[in-house]
């Protein structure tokens, strides 16, 4: 019976029931954006947690949407972040594991260090949240068989590290290549191109090849992509309200389950929040918070009127 329920959840609702959607927020601190762009992180602040997270909580509260916040355990060393984490649980949101230190090279680490990043990250977050942490998202959306073994063995029930988006992959490769030509080093890692052939709908992975369907691996919830457009905050900001709603409508028509993904910085603005001008290399930070919020509210509200938003830890 459990296998039958799982098959229904991953292959579409039984009996034509209302389809589902989920929304996640990666709470990546600003220092990680400095590292991606090869900048000095000395001016990094805690704005992602202190400002971005509350703005998303307010937005989700208006729409009655439960979300998953994928958190980095080391951020709890910053005063106030532990209380902010617990407030997410009180508000009805799920806490996901985004590792201990957000190592972009997670798949390249030695086995002991990799295990610590995954298992200690989960343990720290779970203790601070006072709630189970069963979902995992890898930094940079990179995963492989060895990583998946550790994710499962450390007590996680699902993974959402797969992002099968060709334009995103090519753009990332282009930016990293251009930085290298200018003599600047990014801490980001490109990852395997196998991800581009991964299923677009949720699936049970092959334990040895996590970008393929199987029966022995973790449940995978890929970030939704339709017609090459990823359903992520930066894409919504670039597309505007009309373009974003069109992309979401296509995903609604094509996907059994829609996975929308944001980062906490998606509701920050260079001017609105007085951020370091050096971060203007992150184009979406140049947009006003008000504009981004209108776009996100439009697409989430549109989906909420047509689908049931769920936390991934509640799906069988």
Enter the tokens of residue 132: 């189970």
The pLDDT value given to residue 194: 92
Nearest alpha carbon to residue 165 among 138, 134, 200, 133: 200
Name residue, tokens 């184009």.
Answer: 283
The CB density around residue 112, as the number of other CB atoms within 10 Å, is 8
Per-residue pLDDT of 65-91, as tens digits, reads 999 999 999 999 999 999 999 999 999
Q: Is the pLDDT of residue 163 over 80?
A: yes
Q: What is the largest CA-CA distance in the chain?
A: 57
**Between β-strands 68-71 and 20-26, what pairing exists: parallel, antiparallel or unpaired?**
parallel
Q: Is the pLDDT of residue 45 over 90?
A: yes
Give CATH for domain 22-314. Answer: 3.20.20.370
Nearest alpha carbon to residue 34 among 219, 285, 202: 285
Residue 12's pLDDT band, with cuts at 50, 70 and 90, is very low
Q: Is the pLDDT of residue 6 over 50?
A: no
The pLDDT value given to residue 144: 96
Residue 190's pLDDT band, with cuts at 50, 70 and 90, is confident
Q: Is the pTM of this model over 0.75?
A: yes
63 close to 301: Cβ distance less than 8 angstroms: yes
Residue 163: is it exposed, middle or buried by C-beta count within 10 angstroms (0-12/13-18/19+)? buried
**Between β-strands 225-226 and 229-230, what pairing exists: parallel, antiparallel or unpaired?**
antiparallel
3-state secondary structure of 210: strand
Tell me the C-alpha distance between 90 and 88, whole Å. 5
The CB density around residue 77, as the number of other CB atoms within 10 Å, is 9
276 close to 42: Cβ distance less than 8 angstroms: no
What are the residue boundaries of the structural domains of the chain, listed by start?
22-314
Residues 6+ apart with CB under 8 A from 297: 59, 62, 63
3-state secondary structure of 31: helix
């Amino acid at each position: 019976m459990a296998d039958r329920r799982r098959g229904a959840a991953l292959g579409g609702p039984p009996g034509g029931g209302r389809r589902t959607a989920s929304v996640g927020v990666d709470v990546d601190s600003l220092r990680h954006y400095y590292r991606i762009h090869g900048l000095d992180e000395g001016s990094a602040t805690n704005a992602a947690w202190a400002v971005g997270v509350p703005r998303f909580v307010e937005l989700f509260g208006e729409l009655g949407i439960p979300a998953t916040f994928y958190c980095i355990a080391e951020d709890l060393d910053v005063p106030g972040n532990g209380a902010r984490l617990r407030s997410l649980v009180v508000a009805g949101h799920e806490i996901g594991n985004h590792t201990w230190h957000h190592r972009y090279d997670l798949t390249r680490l030695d086995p002991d260090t990799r295990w610590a990043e995954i298992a200690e990250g989960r343990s720290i977050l779970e203790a601070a949240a006072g709630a189970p942490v069963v979902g995992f998202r890898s930094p940079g959306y990179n995963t492989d068989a060895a990583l998946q073994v550790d994710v499962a063995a450390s007590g996680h029930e699902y993974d959402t590290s797969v992002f099968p988006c060709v334009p995103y992959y090519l753009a990332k490769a282009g930016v990293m290549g251009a930085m290298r030509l200018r003599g600047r080093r990014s801490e980001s890692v490109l990852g395997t191109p196998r991800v581009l052939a991964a299923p677009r709908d949720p699936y049970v992975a092959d334990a040895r090849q996590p970008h393929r369907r199987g029966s022995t691996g973790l449940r995978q919830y890929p970030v939704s992509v339709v017609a090459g457009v990823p359903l992520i905050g930066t894409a919504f900001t670039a597309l505007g309200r009309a373009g974003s709603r069109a992309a979401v409508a296509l995903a609604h028509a094509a996907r059994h389950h829609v996975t929308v993904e944001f980062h906490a910085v998606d509701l920050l603005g260079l001017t609105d929040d007085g951020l370091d001008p050096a971060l203007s290399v992150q184009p979406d930070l140049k947009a006003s918070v008000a504009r981004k919020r209108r776009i996100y509210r439009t697409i989430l509200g549109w989906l909420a009127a047509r689908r049931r938003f769920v936390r991934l830890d509640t799906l069988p």
